[in-house]
């Protein structure tokens, strides 16, 4: 049976030299600099960001590098190592939402969003080199939009990239680009992770809209070594289903449920339940107030998932890895049964990990394909990943790929 592939991060040196080379080969001159932003993996708290809930991502060591040079005019040219011979072009002048097709919408949309916000940003030439797997729930899109936002901030002297609070302005441009130029719904988790995570820490992100940037994150130690652990990520490579409509549907159901419950968002409902003397009864009463079975299930996921984030943070800080693992399992089971966003590849990968000694395993990201994570003892990632690959082979699924995750750094200038 074929050995499962592990995706290695591109080193700082290779990222800089490969992005610079692609830039020079494409445009015939040197870039002004090179920047990079990471993909992310969400430890727990899935489909909670757009419900003003809690989530807990780490930045991956896998990064997207961008070599960039500003232009005097409003033209944008972008090229990616994925198809190094194809340069995409756009013009920021008169550009409207959804005005750019294909992957170029992500970087072009960032410049457009910054201009819409009133910043004096002009055109640019850019070359991307990435080792973040695309469309695998590990946020290659945020790695692209955030690296672009940081580069533009730097070359146009906006001054937001140097502080955590300032980065929120860039995050907003990255989110706007994904939502309005690329037409991909995103709730903000990915961009915050890519811009605000710190090495050795998970980012506890509180998505309540009323919080200021200084209030909405806290850095939680996430030192796998300390507990003799590894975090295995397996990209199932499940063919992406038509998930756009599904994501929008989940969001709409949550908004409708909040309306029925008379609250601004489901976080308010979750906090009410968390504070009740009898939480079980409080959850039951909330669900009883909802008109249909599907809505009850969606709300039960969101409310219990927010609580699981709190419990996971506590358990991990105390070194209670058994409980942390059980919370991974409960999160997955809720996403499968109540939120209904898993596919057979995700369920089977999780199942195999659990049966092969993982403390816990769950799908991560939006679902309908993408990746799973498993908390395993140090030195066991390879073996568990191989078991998953072997089972996929038996089932006739695509061969999965794996990576060894740890809490890495956020976006930065590299050269």
Which residue numbers are catalytic? 190
Q: Binding residue for ligand ADP (CB under 6 A) from 42, 62, 140, 410?
A: 140
State residue 395 phi and psi, 5-degree precision.
-80, -10
Of 136, 154, 146, the closest CA to residue 113 belongs to 146
Stretch binding ligand ADP (CB under 6 A), from 15-23, 138-146, 268-276, 296-304:
138-146
Taking residues 166 to 205 in sequence order and writing x for each that binds ligand ADP by CB under 6 A, - otherwise, the string is ------------------x---------------------
Of 167, 78, 141, the closest CA to residue 412 belongs to 167
Question: Are residues 204 and 217 in contact, defined by beta-carbon separation less than 8 angstroms?
Answer: yes
Task: State the binding partner of 106 from ligand ADP, Mg ion, none, CB within 5 to 8 A by kind.
Answer: ligand ADP
Smallest distance from the beta carbon of 88 to ligand ADP, in angstroms?
A: 9
H or E segment to which residue 263 belongs: none
Smallest distance from the beta carbon of 140 to Mg ion, in angstroms?
A: 6
Full DSSP string of 188-202: SHHHHHHHH--TTEE
Q: Does 141 bind Mg ion (CB under 5 A)?
A: yes
Q: Binding residue for ligand ADP (CB under 6 A) from 23, 103, 112, 328?
A: 103
Task: State the binding partner of 103 from ligand ADP, Mg ion, none, CB within 5 to 8 A by kind.
Answer: ligand ADP
Whole-number Å distance between alpha carbons of 327 and 12: 35
Residues 6+ positions from 197 with CB-CB distance below 8 Å: 38, 40, 57, 58, 59, 203, 407, 408, 409, 410
Q: Binding residue for ligand ADP (CB under 6 A) from 23, 106, 160, 368?
A: 106
Smallest distance from the beta carbon of 189 to Mg ion, in angstroms?
A: 10
- 320 burial class (0-12, 13-18, 19+ CB within 10 angstroms)? middle
Stretch binding ligand ADP (CB under 6 A), from 11-19, 116-124, 126-134, 214-222:
126-134
Strand 371-377 and strand 360-364: the pairing is antiparallel
Smallest distance from the beta carbon of 106 to ligand ADP, in angstroms?
A: 5
Task: State the binding partner of 128 from ligand ADP, Mg ion, none, CB within 5 to 8 A by kind.
Answer: ligand ADP
Q: Which is nearer to Mg ion, 20 or 136 (CB)?
A: 136
State residue 264 phi and psi, 5-degree precision.
-65, -35
Q: Binding residue for ligand ADP (CB under 6 A) from 99, 135, 166, 213?
A: 135
Mutual angle of helices 105-116 and 164-176, in 10-degree steps = 120
Of 342, 268, 279, 263, the closest CA to residue 311 belongs to 279
Q: Does 342 bind Mg ion (CB under 5 A)?
A: no
Count of residues that interact with ligand ADP, criterion CB under 6 A: 18
Near ligand ADP in 348-377, by CB under 6 A: 365
Spell 367-390 as b/e; 16+ CB within 10 A means b.
bbbbbbbbbbeeebbbebbbbbbe
Q: Which is nearer to ligand ADP, 251 or 310 (CB)?
A: 251
Task: State the binding partner of 82 from ligand ADP, Mg ion, none, CB within 5 to 8 A by kind.
Answer: ligand ADP
Q: Binding residue for ligand ADP (CB under 6 A) from 141, 253, 265, 381?
A: 141
Structure tokens at 130: 């990435």
Task: State the binding partner of 130 from Mg ion, ligand ADP, none, CB within 5 to 8 A by kind.
Answer: ligand ADP
Count of residues that interact with Mg ion, criterion CB under 5 A: 2
Give every strand in the sheet of 217-221, ordered side by side. Answer: 54-55, 201-206, 217-221
Smallest distance from the beta carbon of 386 to Mg ion, in angstroms?
A: 28
Stretch binding ligand ADP (CB under 6 A), from 127-135, 257-265, 322-330, 377-385:
127-135
Near ligand ADP in 45-64, by CB under 6 A: 64
SS3 for 360-398 is EEEEECCCCCCEEEEEEECCCHHHHHHHHHHHHHHHCCC
Question: Are residues 90 and 142 in contact, defined by beta-carbon separation less than 8 angstroms?
Answer: no
Stretch binding ligand ADP (CB under 6 A), from 47-55, 140-148, 212-220, 246-254:
140-148
**List of residues contacting ligand ADP (CB under 6 A):** 64, 80, 82, 103, 106, 128, 130, 134-141, 144, 184, 365
Q: List residues near Mg ion by CB under 5 A.
A: 139, 141
């Amino acid at each position: 049976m074929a050995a499962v592939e592990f995706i290695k991060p591109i080193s700082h040196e290779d990222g800089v030299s490969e992005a610079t080379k692609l830039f020079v080969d494409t445009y015939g001159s040197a870039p002004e600099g090179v920047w990079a932003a990471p993909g992310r993996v969400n430890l727990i708290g899935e489909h909670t960001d757009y419900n003003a809930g809690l989530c807990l991502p780490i930045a991956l060591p896998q990064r997207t590098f961008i070599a960039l040079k500003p232009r005097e005019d409003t033209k944008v040219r972008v090229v990616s190592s994925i198809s190094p011979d194809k340069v995409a072009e756009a013009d920021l002048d008169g550009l409207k939402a959804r005005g750019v097709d294909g992957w170029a919408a992500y970087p072009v949309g960032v410049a457009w969003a910054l201009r819409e916000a009133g910043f004096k940003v002009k055109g640019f030439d850019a070359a991307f080199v990435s080792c973040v797997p695309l469309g695998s729930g590990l946020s290659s899109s945020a790695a692209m939009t955030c690296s672009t936002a940081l580069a533009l901030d730097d070359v146009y002297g906006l001054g937001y990239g140097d502080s955590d609070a300032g980065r929120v302005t860039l995050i907003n441009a990255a989110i706007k680009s994904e939502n309005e130029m690329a037409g991909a719904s995103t709730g903000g988790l990915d961009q915050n992770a890519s811009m605000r995570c710190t090495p050795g820490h998970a980012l506890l992100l509180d998505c309540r809209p009323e919080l200021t940037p200084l209030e909405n994150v806290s850095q939680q130690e996430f030192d796998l070594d300390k507990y003799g652990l590894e975090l295995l990520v397996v990209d199932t490579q499940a063919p992406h289903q038509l998930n756009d409509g599904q994501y929008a549907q989940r969001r709409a159901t949550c908004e409708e449920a909040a309306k029925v419950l008379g609250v601004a968002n489901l976080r308010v409902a979750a906090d009410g339940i968390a504070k009740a003397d009898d939480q079980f009864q409080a959850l039951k009463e909330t669900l009883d107030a909802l008109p249909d079975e599907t809505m009850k299930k969606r709300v039960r996921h969101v409310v219990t998932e927010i609580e699981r984030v709190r419990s996971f943070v506590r358990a991990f800080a105390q070194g209670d890895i058994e409980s942390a693992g059980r919370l991974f399992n409960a999160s997955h089971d809720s996403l499968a049964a109540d939120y209904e966003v898993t596919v057979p590849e995700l369920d089977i990968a999780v199942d195999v990990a659990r049966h092969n000694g993982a403390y816990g395993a769950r799908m991560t990201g939006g679902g309908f394909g993408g990746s799973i994570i498993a908390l395993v003892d140090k030195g066991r990632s390879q073996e568990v990943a191989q078991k998953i690959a072997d089972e996929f082979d038996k089932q006739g699924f695509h061969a999965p790929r794996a990576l060894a995750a740890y809490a890495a750094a956020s976006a930065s200038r590299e050269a």
